[in-house]
Amino acid sequence: MTQVLELDPERPQKEAIELAASIIRDGGLVAFPTETVYGLGADAMNEQAVLKIFEAKGRPADNPCIVHVDSREMLDRVSASVGDKAERLIQTFWPGPLTLVLERNVDVAEPVSAGLSTVAVRMPEHRIALGLIQAARTPIAAPSANVSGRPSPTTAAHVFDDLGGRIDMILDGGATNIGIESTVLDVTADPPLILRPGWITQQVLSEVIGPVGLGASDQELQRSPGTRHRHYSPRAAIILVEQGTTEQLETICRHYLEDGSVGFIGYSKLAIDDASFFSINIGARAKDYAHSIYAALREIDQKNPGVIVVEGIRDSDEGAAVMDRLRRAASESAV
Ligand code: TXA
Ligand code: MG
């Protein structure tokens, strides 16, 4: 049985937070909203609890989890060596969607780091997430609360669809604000290296700490095992059109319609009138795409289309994080 509790995202009810925190302290699993996506949380210092996360998600054991803390003080329990650059980033961006890879303390349960000597940590901004960590009085390990390989959940309903019956509780705080996962920055590398692009961009990071690399080579990806695994994909094959006019998009959709039903997600309004054509329009800004893309992929996947055509956006600044997720989803789906 999975208990679902609805909470006010601005002023979460204390009793509900206390109940959820007691589940965490007892070694159970609680899904909760953050400002990026929903996370599936367990006590990061309890190995048995952390192993339950991997089992519930069907997550490969070599994919480490992000640890969530409520304060700079709590970070000391997770990592003993926070350098000068990390301190500056923490002052500037925490609480918020920036995850830092640091040297790991031995107290952190081993499966959290999947055998690495490092640990990924962030302090979320969402009041439900912060309230839960505070009440549990322990760092909380939490990957995104989806079945491994599916798009990250941005609503409690997404979490329930994937994990209902497999976890103890879901805290429902409505749709998440940002909609894509945090930036992951390895500050044990020199210069620091972005392992996963996110809402906090390379440009913005380098304004605070100087040069920042963008991980790309196989060797670099080795540092962030999660980026090697299948990710962000609905069931249908995704055709990502990185750049195209409305007419070109229509031609592509019509071509696939000859073989079966087609889903379309984009900002252009396509003039296609066909019972086998399902279209979801979202705003053209990176912010709109980040906020809506995972929900749109899940929604259109329920219509069971043969393919989903997705219209890309400009691959710069915040758009880079969105395009990173879309390219992975497209390359990993069986076309
Ligand atoms: O916004 C987010 O980051 C969300 C919310 C819930 O906080 N969490 C999230 O977790 O997206 P997850 O597990 O889906 O993605 C964690 C990413 C993976 O790519 C993983 O490989 C990487 O962080 N990671 C975790 N620990 C690492 C470590 N020690 N070294 C390098 N990469 C690490
Ligand atoms: Mg994930």
Task: Give the count of alpha carbons within 13 A of 317, CB side only.
Answer: 6
Which of 102, 117, 184, 294 for a ligand 1 pocket mutation test, highest count of atoms within 8 Å of Cβ? 184
Q: Which atom of ligand 1 is nearest to the CA of 180?
A: 1
Residue 8, number of CB atoms within 10 A of its CB? 12
Grouped pLDDT means (10 residues each) for the chain, 335 residues: 97 98 98 98 98 97 97 97 97 98 97 97 98 98 96 98 98 98 97 97 98 72 58 85 96 97 98 97 98 97 95 94 94 60
Which ligand is closest in space to the CA of residue 40? 1
Q: What is the whole-number distance in angstroms between the Cα of residue 87 and the centre of ligand 2?
A: 26
Q: Which residues surround ligand 2, an ion (CB under 5 A)?
A: 144
255-259: which pairs have CB atoms within 8 A and are 24 or more residues apart?
256/306, 256/307, 256/309, 259/306
What's the pLDDT score for residue 218?
47
Q: What is the whole-number distance in angstroms between the Cα of residue 235 and the centre of ligand 2?
A: 16
Phi/psi-derived region of residue 58, left when phi > 0, alpha when psi is between -120 and 50, beta in every other case: left
Q: Which residues approach ligand 1 with their CB closer than 6 A?
A: 34, 36-37, 39, 63-66, 97, 99, 101, 113, 116, 118-120, 142-144, 181-182, 184, 195-196, 223-227
Q: Please state the pTM of the whole predicted model.
A: 0.95
What's the pLDDT score for residue 228?
59
Residue 203, number of CB atoms within 10 A of its CB? 12
What's the pLDDT score for residue 226?
59
Which of 32, 38, 66 for a ligand 1 pocket mutation test, highest count of atoms within 8 Å of Cβ? 66
Q: What is the whole-number distance in angstroms between the Cα of residue 29 and the centre of ligand 1?
A: 17
Residue nearest to atom 13 of ligand 1 (CA): 143
What's the pLDDT score for residue 31?
99
Burial (0-12, 13-18, 19+ Cβ within 10 Å), 11: exposed
Question: Roughly what angle, to the nearest 10 degrees, separates helices 318-332 and 286-301?
Answer: 20
What's the pLDDT score for residue 223?
55
- Rounded to a whole number of angstroms, the CA Rg of the chain reads 20
What's the pLDDT score for residue 235?
83
Q: Which atom of ligand 1 is nearest to the CA of 120?
A: 26
- In sequence order, what are the residues at sequence separation of 6 or more whose Cβ sits closer than 8 angstroms to the Cβ of residue 117? 103, 104
